[in-house]
Structures are given as structure tokens and as C-alpha cells.
Structure 1
Amino acid sequence: MASGDSEIIHKFHFFDVYKDGRVVLHRPFSEKIPPSDDPITGVRSKDVIISTKPPVSARIFLPKSADTTQKLPVLFYVHGGGFCMLSAFSPHYHSFLNNFVAEANVIAVSVEYGLFPTRPIPACYEDSWAGLQWVASHSNRNGPEPWLNDHADFQRVFVGGDSAGGNISHTLAFRVGTIGLPGVKLVGAVLVHPYFGGTEDDQMWLYMCPTNSGLEDPRMNPNAGDLARLGCERVLIFVAEKDHLRDPGKRYYEKLKKSGWVGSVELVENLGEEHCFHLHKPEYEKAVDLFTKFVSFVKQD
């Protein structure tokens, strides 16, 4: 049996914690690819710095159709990875958003937020909120990013994400409803297989967030009062039948319906599927169905 500093005192889904305080991620390496001009879809992408202290960046995607005569909806996307892994610059997310922008004819801003253990929770929430505020700073057409100044329709803004990113997207919609986001109308939120409380991963989230308020922390277990204040008109929730996060996602849907929130919410269950299957098998029939539903939600007038 291990002893001393080599002893593991906590074994979590995504990392181990050693007696000497070290945190060792099970998947420490996250491949990243550069932005590009896609010759197939015509979508262009580039990376921008939102903040240096703390470090927050994003990848922006612009569709081929973009011109100065038509303003396009904006999707602010938050990647998954259990609050401790992956990146807005990971191949799966770059490919997903490149294809999404081409199909939906929108601008996408994919935020690169701080990850545990380098930056414990709530860095992910604060960085994502800073990213969304940065998008809003362009609503008077004089922000730092020309693509947003020239092409964005700030009355048609959406937030969305998968897994941890679905959880963070909820908090963004809540902040818009309570704090406001001047110059922006948040139309909808899309939560794909969101990471909410009620599973064996609860203790992992509590460990990643030293300032937590326990199992009823509203970021993991939103209460009815918070749900009633979501600052958007529509919510689309995906859950996967074989995902251990399925039941928390369904509970979120039921609580939102009963909360008194005045918007419309839809739940889609991906039967027979695992967590975030669509990112790994994008050409699979059910992945195409999820993608098409997501696109339709954003394109809907």
C-alpha cells in the first residue's frame, strides 16, 4: 500500500488527489489546433484575447455568407470537460462549431476559460461571464473585434455548451436575468448533457470549488427561484439515455417548467446514447439529429 506523499487520498472521475496535495489529471493533455479558413465550408476562424488578468481568450467563427448588409445571430459557446479538461481549441470543438456556423449562418464565439487545478472553480464561471460581457461590449459597433462590430445581431444572442459547458451556460442565462447585459437580447440557451448535481461526481465538483456552499450550491442544484429568473426566452436541453448525468438534466427540466419562468423549454432524450456522443461520432445518424435540432433552435424566429 502506498504511504506518505505518494498516497492517494481522493479518487475522482477525472483526477486523483495525493496526500502531499498534488492533483493528477487522468487526461492531462488536451490537443489544440490553430484557427483556420476552412476551404470546404468557407468558415473563417481566429483567436482573440479577452483578458490577460485573468487569462481569458476565445475562438471566433465567421460564416462565408457574412457581409455588411445582413447582421447574424451570435452563439456564445462553452466547451465541456468536467471543469478540468479540454479546450475551445480542441479538434472536436473546432470541428463542431465550424460546421455549426456554416449550417446555422451565425457567428460563434467559443470561450477558453480557466480550468482546475490551475484555476479552481469559480474561475470557469467568471471567465465565461467576462467573455459574454466582452461580446456585449461590441453592441455599439465600437468594440475591439471587427467581426462582431460589422456582422453581429445583438438582439439574437444565444448561449450554449455541453457537459460542464451546459452547466456554465445555465449560470450565464441566470446572470443575464439578474444582472442584465446591456445592448444584448439573450434569446435562448442550449444545454447539451449538462453537468448538474445528483451523481457520484458531486464530491468532485465540491473539491474543485473550495468556496462551495455544499450539495445545494445553486450552481450545481439551481433552485426554483433562480430558475424563474433565467434571462432568456427559450431553453433546449439534451440528455442521453446511457449518461449518468441524464437524471440531473431531466430534473433541471422539470424544475424549470414548475419554477414560474415565463419562457419555453424543450427536453430531447438521445435514446441508447452515451455522454456527448455527438462530438466523437459527428456523422452518426443520431449525432446529426442532435446537431440539426441545435441548428434549428438557433435559426428559429
Structure 2
Amino acid sequence: MASQRSEVVKEFPFFKVYKDGHLEFRWPPVEKIPPSDDPDTGVRSKDVVISLDPPVSARIFLPRISDPARKLPLLLYIHGGGFSIESAFSPSYHNFVSTVAAEAGAVAVSVEYGLFPARPIPACYEDSWVALRWVAGHAGGDGAEPWLNEHADFGRVFIGGDSAGGNISHTLATRVGTIGLPQGVKVVGIILAHPYFGGTDDDQMWLFMCPTNGGLSDPRLKPAKEDLARLGCEKVLVFVAEKDHLMEIGIGYYEGLKKSGWSGSVELVKNVGEDHCFHLRNPETEKAAELKDKFVSFIKHG
């Protein structure tokens, strides 16, 4: 038994799998911080429970309100982390989404979805869809969350995410285009920062985390042309980073979307000299500020 516990049978970028089935992650559990009111930006945040079954929660950010009668665009943010680590409540995501909410003048809902191994894929997709449907349920002004009822403009909804969160954001837009959302809710655009899709060695990790996968042609891994053609939004912004091993994958998504027959507009931004999700690790740099400013502009002018 001791040999089984020490023998590695699979090794992935985020974790090792041992013969007895236990996993060893390459990073310690992520730090989580509580919601807070930022005196500098005026952004307030609080945590809400969206669903008990499945267990989904979120952190909501409300920017400083100068005109209570003016409705604000709404951002649904999906964090990255290889479907297995990170949190909407970690310092890097709290700070990034709070900054975007402040500068875009947007209400933001940052989703805390289920992670592998406690909740294997497709929990991340299902939980994020539950979150989007919950948000959309406030369009009539009688939902469970006052900040959404009172301040969100459901005709200006955006979905954004990085890495795995970019992948999930795409699947949400596909569902919107296929299933739809309640009347009065319009997803204007999606923002994919250094998104993960199939085509690299990482695919084997995704397949392992998703026991019900459809192989390398699974549309969540490799978006099908017909899914791209029916994205339920008007515009897409894709960021790729020059030193990221996913750069060509992101460019391929951009090119595939242009050729799919989808009627919206798509823009590609290349972060020259930068690596995967650099803006979250080093938010004070000039290029991180440029990415954030582009992200904000996409929402403000949507």
C-alpha cells in the first residue's frame, strides 16, 4: 500500500495522480479574502449564495453611485485556474474585478464555481450557467439581490474570464445563443483573456478532470463551427500573450469565429512580451494597465 501511495501514474501541469488515486497539487490552497468597501474607489462588495444545489456563490461589486436613476452595465466574471484552483475570493481576482467595476462603472458578479476534484468538470460549466440564469432573473426588478434589482442594466450584460474562465465564458455565450435568456436580458459581448481551448498537452488534464468527456473533439474543448456561429452576443474581445503556450490557440479561436458565419464583430489584442495571465500576477505594470484599460473600454462603450 505504501508503494501505491508513492507511485505517480499521471503527471499534469497542475497536479500529480498517484496509483492509490490521491492527488498532489503543485500549489498550496489559494488565499481567500472577505468582501470589503474600498474607500479609495468607492467600490462596495459582498458575497451571496446563488444556489445550494449545486453549491454556487458569488462576490458582487457595486461601484460608486453618482446618479441612482442611471442603470449600470453588468459584468459576469469567471475566474481561471485550470478548472481546479483559484477563487473569486482570492486577492488577485477580488482586486482585478473591483478595479474593472470602478473604472467601467459596472456592477460585477464574480462567480465561485465548483472545482476539480471535489466537483469534476462539467460542474464549472453548469455552475456558471446557474449563476448567469440567477443574474438574468433580476431583469424584472424583483430578484433576490437588491444591488442587481436597483442598479443593473440588463440590456448591457457582459461575460468575461481568463484562461479556464475564458473557456467557460465561451460556453456560456454558446448556451445563450442556443437556449436564450429571459426577455429583457441581452449579452452584448464576451471578453476572453488568454483563453484555454484544446490543442496543447493541457488537453489530457482536461479530459482527466471531465470523466464524461467527448474526447479531443468535445465542443467545450474544441469549439465547433456551428457553436461559434451561434454565439449569443454582438461582439467578442480576445487577448493573447506572446509568451503564452496558449497564444496560437487563442488566435485560432479568433480566426475560427471570423470564418464561422457569426454576424458579430471580434477583436484580437496581442500582449507583446508577456506570459499567461501576467496582468493578474503583476497588476502594477504598464502592460497590465493596458490590458485592464482595454477590458474596461469594451464594457464602457458596449
SS at match of 1:215: helix
Does the 8 A contact of 1:35 with 1:46 survive in 2?
yes
The corresponding residue for 1:230 is 231
Residue 180 of structure 1 pairs with residue 194 of structure 2: no
The corresponding residue for 1:97 is 97
Q: Distance in 1 between matches of 2:138 and 2:188?
A: 17
The corresponding residue for 1:146 is 146
Map residues 104-119 of structure 1 onto 2, 5 A cutoff.
104-119=104-119
Q: Given the superposition, is the C-alpha separation of residues 67 and 55 from structure 1 closer, same or farther in structure 2, using an over 3 Å criterion? A: farther
Does the 8 A contact of 2:4 with 2:18 survive in 1?
no
Residue 158 of structure 1 pairs with residue 158 of structure 2: yes
SS at match of 1:17: strand
The corresponding residue for 1:17 is 17
RMSD: 1.0
How many residues end up aligned between the 2 structures?
300
Q: Distance in 2 between matches of 1:106 and 1:67?
A: 13
Map residues 1-301 of structure 1 onto 2, 5 A cutoff.
3-65=3-65, 67-182=67-182, 183-301=184-302
SS at match of 2:279: helix
Deviation at 1:28, TM superposition (A): 3.8
Q: Which is further off, 86-95 or 63-72?
A: 63-72
Deviation at 1:25, TM superposition (A): 1.5
Q: Given the superposition, is the C-alpha separation of residues 157 and 23 from structure 1 closer, same or farther in structure 2, using an over 3 Å criterion? A: same
Identity fraction in percent = 70
The two structures have a TM-score, normalised by structure 1, of 0.98
Q: Given the superposition, is the C-alpha separation of residues 48 and 35 from structure 1 closer, same or farther in structure 2, using an over 3 Å criterion? A: same
Q: Distance in 2 between matches of 1:121 and 1:252?
A: 21
Q: Where in structure 1 are there 5+ consecutive unaligned residues?
A: none
Q: Distance in 2 between matches of 1:72 and 1:181?
A: 19
Q: Given the superposition, is the C-alpha separation of residues 180 and 81 from structure 1 closer, same or farther in structure 2, using an over 3 Å criterion? A: same
Q: Distance in 2 between matches of 1:71 and 1:268?
A: 29
Does the 8 A contact of 1:66 with 1:151 survive in 2?
no
Deviation at 1:66, TM superposition (A): 5.5
SS at match of 1:3: helix
The letter for the 2-side match of 1:283 is E
The two structures have a TM-score, normalised by structure 2, of 0.98
Does the 8 A contact of 1:35 with 1:47 survive in 2?
yes
SS at match of 1:59: strand
Q: Where in structure 2 are there 5+ consecutive unaligned residues?
A: none
